[in-house]
A and B are shown apart, each in its own frame.
Chain A
Amino acid sequence: MINTFFNSGSLDSPAAFLASFLIGIAFGVALECAGFGSSRRLAGIFYFRDMAVLKVMFTAVIVAMLGVSYAKSFGWVTLDNVYFLHTLYAAQIVGGLIFGVGFVMGGWCPGTAAVGVASGKIDALVFLAGAVGGSILYNEFYPVVAPLTANDRGVVFGFESLGVSEAGFAFFFTLIAVGCFWGAEFIERKRAGATNGYWNSRFLKVFSSVLVIGAFGLFAAQTRPGAAHAEGAVSEESLLADIQGGADHFGAQELADRLMGGDASIMLVDIRTPEEYSGFHVRTAINIQVSDLPERLALRKNQGVIVLYSNGMTHPAQARDSLTRLGFRNVFQLTDGLQGFLDTCLRPVSLHDGPVSPALAAKIRAWREFFLSTPVASPAKTSILTSAEPLPAEVETGWLAQKLGREDLKLIDLRSQPEYNGGHILGAQSLNIESLRGNVNGLPSMLLPARLLAEHFSLLGLRPDDSIVVIWGDKIQDATLFGLACERLGHQRYAILRGGYSKWLSEKRPQDTRLPIVTATRYPVPEKSDDFTVGAKDVLAAIGKPGTVILDVRPADFFTGKKRDEARGGHVPGAFNRSFSDDVTKGEQFSTLKPVPELAEAYSRLIPMKGSPVIVHCRTGHQASQTYFVLTRLLGYTRVRWYDAGWTEWAARSELPVVSEVQPPTK
């Protein structure tokens, strides 16, 4: 797969701007050479005088189509690395009809008018000024016309709509184009008496043949075994061809490598019963019952790769075929099922029958390490907390009980002081989380700047290589906000206690009432400011940016605007809502974050890829810190940022756009 600017989320980088400019130059040269710097020539097609528009446009469409289709069959182009425009029937049909009226009136379209201005055409300049005005007009009338754009069908290909194979559609399309070329030449010869046309010329014969042969070649390219990794098919013939060629399979070793490499484009689905799943499953797999597959996978349709597995091969194969008929072109079954995966990738080298190459042996060791250890359930086995030993994001009470008393283990208890005084875990220090927040530049409840946080950490006797475990009372977000204070100081070795103090207490583990003896340290202040905190300006810039997700974690009523504590209710345009409390399971005695597979599944519906840019916010930054923790520490999202000032600031600044489902009170 090619790492396009779109794929890396850097279409707004200077490099992409330069590339766009250069592509624009080639675009301009091509249009000018075609004679599209002349409105008379452009309008000619509507009077059957000059068919250049049809010839140039259709040639370009077919050439690019053949190029993209071959690139797809080689796996270079997928739905992940290329931005495809969505289909909205009403908007595109009505828009197209109106566009045609303006096109024939003005004699220009936007791109050709730019070339027209470059060619000195005053009418092109006037047309462009009109188009700028038309865009403003659209913005002003947007609330009226918006219903036309409401029904977004997502990325829909013509061959899907007609239920035919992609190669067949492309071939037929090419034939139409060639037919149009000959028709256009004929019309020009008859109507305009053109003598310098290409009718029956050697050039047109060769050109037509090349296009048709090129399109015919797509049939071979797209049924190549392996080609289907990027491309599936919907017809029964190609379904059968996939099965015969093994193109519906996904190899165990490739899967293991890609999962271990953190490839977020793969979604691994375990379709066995929940009991079997909870007994053992391949790490990162989520559990979905066969009958729920179409619904639960809807948002991943043709996005990335979906791999199904069960104990054997029958159920995944049937499910895969059924999903393919439903238009999924990105579903595969794991070759030889779970048993095959265990045999191929996870069986210890010593148990293999034949000789194993050293390279494969090393891989098997790495796979076993990755797939057979689970971060929360089996904490580190070594007895000394060295910085080489990974600290899980959440630690169990049992793990903590074993580690108590170690010098580089620091416990921070965020419960109220009376609760702390009544009994705490041996060695824990009390801290009021609010002491780490305050007014910064007029914004209330902001996490303090690094300089002040370092001062607090110094007084708590913390050192940069300490392992900090955060103990919380009734709010997980207290612990995660402390976590963000750690991150602002570049202190990565922190974990939160799963279930908090309540779980510790419910397990009748020992309590202590003595205050720990602490010597102040001098915690270093990082030189650079953190890279995860963003302001209103960054949120504003992220609105409407393809691939970027703005996640509002306040309760739904505040998101919709039904309830509000601020001047304005509602949410940032285009934001998604998932309440922070949806990530928490409340038990009788204690609460915990929901199991990772469940969270992973929920967020995979909201955020397209692990590397997608995400901005989380709530009202004060407190609740959003929990979602930040879930996304970055538990689920491995890599580009999550935190809008600390949140709705407090957004609602108060009237120039910032707000969407509310509740009509504001009339003045």
Chain B
Amino acid sequence: MKPKSYSNPYLAGILLGLTLLASYLILGAGLGASAGIARAGAFCELAIAPARTLASQYFGGWGTHPLHYYLVFMLVGVFCGGLVSALLSDRCVVMVERGAGCSPFKRLLFSLVGGLVVGFASRLANGCTSGQALSGSAVLLTGSLLFLVSVFLGGYATAWFVRRQWND
């Protein structure tokens, strides 16, 4: 089946904005994704080296049940919402997304390294595109707006070097 075309980006943006507004008014906090990933990281490290993890300064503060956190549940919701929407619009296809001129291995290597860097950076900045750039900027926080600008500066500075993964 041919996948349906994407929504009008502005309408999708309005839906996203209203979701964020609901998050502020109901939870009293913005959206977040990287915290859920970091909690999973703490969970993994706890499973491997519990004493070391609990004694560490950053993960140690999350105690023995790091997954007992609202943003973990939000991340699970994001996956479920994405799955429902992708299935309904026939966009769920198992594949490695890349340019035709790029090998799957190279693309996956870039994904892995990119993931490592993003995982690290979102802990340093205490948030990612969801928590800082989107939620923080929407309430006009100085640090979040600076983060948003910095992300695009970093991205545009690097884009030329990694362009080949999208070459067709």
Contact = CB atoms under 8 A, between A and B. Distances in A.
Interface of A: 2, 4-7, 11-12, 16-35, 37-41, 43, 45-47, 52, 55-65, 67-68, 71, 76-77, 81-89, 91-124, 126-143, 145-146, 148-149, 153, 155-161, 166, 169-170, 173, 181, 198, 203-204, 207, 537, 540-541, 543-544, 573-574, 654-659
A197 B22 CA distance: 30
A149 B124 contact: yes
Contacts of B117: 98-99, 101-102, 105-106, 130, 134
Contact of A6 (B28, B51, B116): B28
A83 B28 contact: yes
B69 to A, nearest CB: 7
29 contacts: A6-B27, A18-B73, A20-B73, A21-B74, A23-B26, A24-B79, A25-B78, A27-B74, A63-B20, A85-B136, A86-B143, A92-B132, A95-B150, A96-B153, A98-B121, A103-B129, A104-B156, A115-B86, A120-B94, A122-B94, A123-B111, A127-B112, A148-B124, A157-B141, A158-B142, A573-B61, A654-B55, A657-B56, A657-B60
Given A27-B74, A34-B6, A120-B94, A93 B115 contact: no
A17 B70 contact: yes
A62 B44 CA distance: 37
Nearest to A88: B143
A157 to B, nearest CB: 5
Given A37-B82, A106-B110, A127-B115, 13 more contacts: A11-B28, A27-B81, A28-B78, A34-B12, A68-B21, A68-B138, A84-B136, A99-B129, A110-B119, A122-B95, A198-B8, A537-B64, A657-B57
A100 B125 CA distance: 12
Contacts of B55: 654-655, 657-658
Nearest to B25: A2
A541 B65 contact: yes
B8 to A, nearest CB: 7
Given A34-B16, A55-B9, A92-B146, A47 B91 contact: no
A100 B120 contact: no
A162 B124 CA distance: 25
Contact of A101 (B61, B128, B155): B155
Nearest to B41: A135
Q: Is the interface of A mostly helix, strand, loop or mixed?
A: helix
Contacts, number: 589
A20 to B, nearest CB: 4
Given A24-B73, A142-B57, A56 B114 contact: no
A126 B115 contact: yes
Nearest to B26: A19
Given A32-B81, A126-B108, A160 B142 contact: yes
Interface in B117-141: 117-141
A59 B33 contact: no
Given A2-B25, A52-B6, A540-B64, A29 B85 contact: yes
Contacts of B148: 96
Given A63-B21, A76-B25, A91-B125, A115 B166 contact: no
Given A65-B139, A131-B34, A82 B118 contact: no
A87 B97 CA distance: 36
A129 B31 CA distance: 21
Residue with the highest number of chain A CB atoms closer than 10 Å, among B14, B95, B115: B115
B85 to A, nearest CB: 4
B118 A68 contact: no
A166 B143 CA distance: 16
Nearest to A81: B28
Contacts of A198: 8, 10
A137 B116 contact: yes
A149 to B, nearest CB: 7
Contacts of B136: 84-85
Interface string B3-15: 0001111111111
A188 to B, nearest CB: 11
Given A77-B25, A119-B82, A543-B61, A105 B158 contact: yes
A83 B77 contact: no
A23 B74 CA distance: 7
Nearest to A145: B124
Interface string B71-97: 101111111111111100101111111
Contacts of A153: 142-143
Given A28-B77, A60-B13, A173-B140, A132 B150 contact: no
Residue with the highest number of chain A CB atoms closer than 10 Å, among B44, B50, B58: B58
A244 to B, nearest CB: 26
Contacts of B93: 119-120
Given A28-B85, A87-B142, A130-B115, A111 B128 contact: yes
Contacts of A38: 97
A115 B95 contact: no
A136 B45 contact: yes
Contacts of B141: 84-85, 87, 155-158
Contact of B7 (A7, A33, A117, A654): A33
B138 A659 contact: no
A26 B19 contact: yes
Contacts of B121: 95-96, 98-99, 101-102, 134
Given A5-B28, A103-B151, A57 B146 contact: no
Nearest to B150: A96
A25 B116 contact: no
A7 B28 contact: yes
A656 B55 CA distance: 6
B99 to A, nearest CB: 8
A600 to B, nearest CB: 26
A109 B33 contact: yes
B113 interface: yes
B154 A89 contact: no
Residue with the highest number of chain B CB atoms closer than 10 Å, among A65, A85, A86: A85
A179 to B, nearest CB: 15
Contacts of B25: 2, 4, 67, 71, 76-77
A119 B16 contact: no
A56 B31 contact: no
Contacts of A60: 13-14, 16-17, 20, 134, 138
B150 A97 contact: yes
A155 B30 CA distance: 14
Contacts of A104: 114, 154-156, 158-159, 162
Contact of A21 (B56, B77, B108, B135): B77
A29 B28 contact: no
B15 A143 contact: no
B6 A33 contact: yes
Contacts of A145: 124
B71 A30 contact: no
B149 A20 contact: no
A55 B24 contact: no
Contact of A84 (B27, B139, B149): B139
B1 interface: no
Contacts of A121: 95-97
Contact of B12 (A56, A61, A143): A56
A207 B147 contact: no
Contacts of A71: 21, 24-25
